[in-house]
Each structure stands twice: as C-alpha cells, then as structure tokens.
Amino acid sequence: MIHVAHFIAISCYAAAAALAAAPLARPVRPPVNAVLAALAAGIAAHGAAILMLARQAGPGALSGLGPSLSFAAFTVALALLIVEGLAREVSLTLIAAPLAAIAATAGNIAGMQTMSDPGGARAVWLALHIVLAFAGLAAYATAAAAGTMYLVAHRDLKSRRFGAVFRSFPPLSTLDRVNHVAAMGGFLVLTLGIGLAAAYSIAYRSIVVTQVVWGVAAWLGIAVLALGRLAGKLSPRRAAAVSSLTFASVVLLYVIFRLGAENRGQFL
C-alpha cells in the first residue's frame, strides 16, 4: 500500500505540472483550481504513505535513504501548494512539481527501508531535526524555483520577447516576493534543524563527516541569500541568481556524496 500511495502521489504531481504547462501550449487561462486540486490529491496520498511507514517503523521512519527522499518530496509539494494557493498562481508548479515527483520516485527506487529505531527521546529528537531540516530545504527549493523563473522572465523582458512563457509567468515583483519570503523562512527553519542535528550528533557521538559538510553547505547557501536580502545587499535579480546557483550546488554536492557513500541506506 505504501508504494501504491507513492505512485498516486507521483502521478498527481506529474498531472499538476502538465496542467500548469497548458498555457504554454495554447492561449488559455492558467487552470489554478485544477492544479491546486492535483497537488492536494498528491499530498494527501503522499501523507498517507508516510503515515503508514511511520506506523511500521516508528519515530525513526525517516532515517533511511528512501523515506528521507520521499519526505523531502512531500515537503516540497506541501510548500508549493501553500505558495500557489496564496498567490493564486501555478507557474512555480512547472519547476517544483517535477522536482517533488523525481525525489519521490528516487525514494521508491531506493526502497522504503529505514535505519534502526533508536527509541525514546532520542528517536523524537532525531525525527524533529529531520522534519525541520527538510522543511527548511523545501523553502530553499521554493526560493530557487522562484529565482529561476525570475531570471527567465527578466531575460525575456530585457530582450522584449513576450512569448507564451513570459505571459504565463507571474509578475517579477511576485516572483521576487516569493523568493524573499521563502529564503527568510527557510533560513530560520533550516537553522533550527541544523542546530538540533549538531546537538544530536554531539550528545550521542554519531558524527558523520559527509552529513556535517553537506548540512553546513546547505545552511551557508541559504544564509548568504537570506542575510544578503535582509541587509539589502542583493538586488532582486542578484538574489534570484544566488538562490538558483546555490541550491543547484547543494543538490550537486549531495549527488557527489551519494556516489561515494559507504552506507547506501542513509540519506547521506
């Protein structure tokens, strides 16, 4: 049933992306309600899969590679639904929904095997830092998606090529606002998640170098973005470029670490 629920979720995310792409193929209004409904259905199925896994494996359910990737996809989709619902836009779905589908698919391919449940307060501590870390990364992904779209729309505006892509995108000010809010929220949540992870590693002497390096790299990336915006040092265009490039670098670093990982069952 867990794999069936994941299949439904992945299908819904793909359908949401396809619906959001409709205005690019023909001059129609963005199907906001249909996209939001597809995302909501996917999130409901995905949430059910995670709950079923938690019942089977306990608080340590998210510690394995497959479950972690699945939960990362769930948080990205949930953040996307919230942002698109508030903005009544579907443009971010073109980037974020396929990202969620790919992460969920990768999790299923890796398998839903979990690491051993540490039990007690330690298990709750572990689960809490994982949830916060992925929530922060989901906000980071949202900022990067908005930043990428800002760069594309800005390029078309500057070259005066007002094609279907430009017409279907929200205003630059909206994309910049999404980038700004997601960066700030992601920085705060990821900082808390990384802090809990560091305290957990010290308290239980379970430090893994690759996890530390990757976590610090992700935190530095979003910190540069959030603090730069807070200090007024980043223009909207520069913030868009920083968010896109740093998030892509964090993903690339994860892939590199995964290729050289000794323990294939962990997220890192």
**How do the residues of the chain divide into helix, strand and coil, expressed in percent and rounded to 5?**
80, 0, 15
DSSP 183-195: HHHHHHHHHHHHH
pLDDT at 88: 86
Which pLDDT tens digit goes with each residue over 236-255? 999 999 999 999 999 999 88
Which bin fits 30, alpha (ψ -120 to 50), beta or left (φ > 0)? beta
pLDDT at 120: 62
pLDDT at 198: 82
pLDDT at 227: 94
Instruction: Please give the Cα distance from 5 to 53 (Å, whole number).
Output: 11
Which pLDDT tens digit goes with each residue over 102-121? 999 988 888 887 765 566 66
Tokens describing residue 61: 């359910």
Break the chain into its structural domains and give their ranges.
2-259
Tokens describing residue 41: 């259905």
Mean pLDDT by 10 residues, the chain (268 residues): 93 95 79 95 95 79 80 93 89 91 90 68 75 90 93 82 68 90 94 86 75 89 94 92 95 84 59
pLDDT at 37: 97
pLDDT at 116: 57
